[in-house]
Amino acid sequence: MVLRVHLSQVRERIQQLRVWRAEWAAKGEQAQRTARQLGDVVRAVPGQRFEVTAAAYQVKLNQVSEHIEVLARTLEEALERLEGAFQQAAHLVAQGSREAMPLPTVPLAMDVKGNWLPSQFTVQIPADRIQALIDQDANLSPELKAQLKEAIQRQPKIPYNLACGWVALSMALSHQLGRMVPAQEVVDQALEAHPDFRKRVIRNLVEDLGKRPIAAGAADQPSESYVTTGEKDLNEVARAYGVRVGRFDVPPGEQNADAVWDHLQGRLQQGEDVIALVNATQSDHGEPPLRNQVPGTALRFSEEHDGETLPAGGRLRPWTDSQGTIAHWVVVNRLEEHDGKRFVVINNPFHNRTERYPWEEFLQSVDAQARAGSQWWFLSVRRTEMEGRP
């Protein structure tokens, strides 16, 4: 069986539906005017009955008109999702792969124009939004506001170097909603809907520009000196999309790896997305490129790249290896089994690529912050309409 979708013909039908709706509305207005005229001419009971009957039919005409518009919008949304799926498939096919593999179950991050996001460092804090935040901040002196605005004018594009959480959320939202939700859109939404995030952005900007901390005592709180993202931050923004981010516990992976596998697999099979806090290489600086192959296997490390080597930045590392590493958000794309061995494929925001690791390496990389006593935790991302399902 061959499935063919003629996009131009579908768009023509959408346009035709909208034309029909306009014609239908015009005929409805004409019928309404005729009914009023007849009612004015025939003042007796028959004229009144005609007006009542005409009004009832007008309601039906309006309902048909609305149904036509709903059908047109539904076709447009279906086209948008279909085009996104084909673009993703075409990209993977164009890159080529020496291993048979399924399409990613979680889309990688896209920019606001639908293009492939090269890395998390492409995401920016909009300069005009920053200026508005500076103007609204009562804790900043007029002198400091002027200094900040001058610095922003020299660097109008402000990179957001700690965007892994928002990029990971954009991936999960894209999968949950069936449409691309750009990482930049998620950060913009965070600036609009999350007051605490806005405060941290300003504080981070002040420190990056070598200025004094905004509030007295802020320098004594190193844990707050960076615009990091946590579970509450991600959930605050996800709610604006009708999606919930929540923590779930699993047994400690070092003692019960099978139970962790079953927990994660169960979440993925229920249509949820899983975000994990892991330990990763902090940058590419001083890190030799890594081979695009999982050691000891014929599997590729990253499926989007056909090169022999890849930049090493963002690669998962054991959490005990703290030198040059950092806590990092990634999305669990899928779990695989090859030749009796287990592997996990993640979507890594650092270079915006899928990465395949042996299951044991992934477990070793789970960050110390996610190893809560006798349990570990991950984040579940699911639409709120799925609440209450087992």
Q: For position 227, what pLDDT does the model report? A: 64
Output the average pLDDT for the chain: 80
Top-ranked range on mean pLDDT: pick from 48-52, 84-88, 129-133, 369-373: 369-373
pLDDT value at 301 more than 90? yes
Distance of CA 380 to the CA centre of its chain: 14
Q: 356 by DSSP, 3-state: which?
A: strand
Domain boundaries, the chain: 7-95, 123-232
Q: How far apart are CA 262 and CA 246, in angstroms?
A: 18
Query: How crowded is residue 348: how many other Cβ atoms within 10 Å of its Cβ?
Result: 29
Give Cβ neighbours of residue 79 (< 8 Å, ≥ 6 apart). 7, 10, 11, 14
DSSP 182: -
Reply yes or no on whether the pLDDT at 96 is more than 50: no
Token couple for 274? 């899983």
Among 13-27, 257-271, 292-306, which is the least confidently predicted range? 13-27
Which residue in 356, 355, 377, 359 sits closest to 368, CA to CA?
377
Yes or no: say if 369 and 322 are a contact pair by the CB < 8 Å rule.
no
Identify the bridge partners of residue 377 per DSSP, sorted by sequence position. 249
Kindly tell me if the per-residue pLDDT of 2 is higher than 70.
no
* 242 confidence band (pLDDT: 50, 70, 90): very high
The pLDDT, as a whole number, for residue 130 is 77
Amino acid at 154: R
Considering only residues 132 and 168, tell me which one the structure prediction assigns the higher pLDDT: 168
- Which of 66-80, 183-197, 352-366 is the least confident region? 66-80
Look-up of token digits 């952005």: 201
C-alpha triplet 344, 306, 79: angle, nearest 5°: 75
- Cα–Cα distances in angstroms (integers) from residue 358 to residues 55, 94, 219, 254, in the given order: 69, 26, 41, 14
Least confident stretch, 26-35, 130-139, 194-203, 376-385: 26-35
- The angle that helices 45-95 and 7-41 make with each other, rounded to 10 degrees, is 170
* pLDDT tens-digit map of 191-210: 887 778 877 777 777 666 65
Distance of CA 83 to the CA centre of its chain: 17
Over residues 318-361, the pLDDT tens digits come to 988 667 789 999 999 999 999 899 999 999 999 999 999 999 99
User: Residue 330: beta bridge partners?
Assistant: 276
